[in-house]
Structure 1
Amino acid sequence: MAFRTLQGTMSLLLLLAVCLHFMTENGTAAISIREKCECIKGNGSVRWRKITDYTIIPKDPLCNQVQIILQRPGQRVCLNPESKPGKKLQKCWKGIKFNTQKKKLCLKLMRKNGPKRPKKH
């Protein structure tokens, strides 16, 4: 009689161990959503009047470059982080201490100090 209860307990523990194995196996597979860089190639210049928002993604183990994603109405554009406007935007972003409430200040600065048009004589 004692052998049957021990056998039943062992079977139950084995079943529980198998279930836990599969539950943790599936849980670890969904940890990393972004597996590579979102920006493969970035533009060197953009029209700042049409930019509504931006996101700066720092280097990480999955992507070894800074990514600057600019949002236009209905479109997302990548800005080259090594370009002059890319460096200015990163400097402003660091200057506001990565505060998302003050992101619009950097956009205003970029619109104001954007690319200069040649004067017509």
Structure 2
Amino acid sequence: MAFRTLQASVCLLLISICFHFITDNRAAASSIREKCECVKENESVQWRKITDYTITDKNPFCNKVQIIVHLQGKQVCLKPDSNQGRKLQRCWRKIKFNEQKKKVCLKLQKKKGSKKPKRH
């Protein structure tokens, strides 16, 4: 009789320990804090090497705009207040955050009046 009581107590203890870990992990998963992805930011990269980009606005976890530029084989963060960063953000707003049109922002646009004078 004492053996059955001991067996039941051990079983109950194991169930309560398992239950504790299951509920504890769920609580811990909901409290994981995200951080900014961009720690080091570059002023600019070569336009022709950019294959894609992602712009993330300020959010509760990161208090700055993040521009992640996808190059051939790697990702680089771009300073949002640099010339290139501002151009990408302006174009992104101009296309109204449309994912299908964002390749338009990567095309090199010739500046008006930037032609070199012809030499005679």
TM-score, scaled relative to structure 2: 0.70
Q: How does 1:52-71 map to 2 (within 5 A)?
A: 52-71=51-70
Question: Partner of 1:85 in structure 2?
Answer: 84
* Structure 2 SS opposite 1:25: helix
Alignment map for 1:1-121 (pairs within 5 Å): 21-31=20-30, 35-108=34-107, 111-113=108-110
16-25 or 97-106: bigger deviation: 16-25
Q: Displacement of 1:100 after TM fit? A: 0.9
Rounded to whole Å, the distance in 2 between the matches of 1:66 and 1:50 is: 22
Structure 1 portions without partners, runs of 5+: 1-14
- Detail structure 1 runs of 4+ shifted over 3 Å in the superposition: 15-22, 31-34
Alpha-carbon RMSD across the aligned residues, in angstroms, is 3.4
In structure 2, relative to structure 1, the CA distance for the partners of 1:27 and 1:113 (3 Å cut) is: farther
Give how far 1:102 is off.
Answer: 1.0
Q: Distance in 1 between matches of 2:100 and 2:50?
A: 17
Cα deviation for residue 66 of structure 1 reads 0.6
Aligned length: 114
The unaligned stretches of length 5 or more in structure 2 are 1-13
Tell me the secondary structure at the aligned position of residue 112 of structure 1: coil
Residues 78-110 of structure 1 show CA distances to partners (whole Å, capped at 9, x for unaligned) of 1100011111111111121211111111111xx
Secondary structure, in 3 states, of the residue corresponding to 1:43? coil
Deviations 1:31-68 (A, max 9, x none): 46772111123111210001000011111122111110
- Using structure 1 for the length normalisation, give the TM-score: 0.69
Q: What percent identity do the matched residue pairs reach?
A: 60
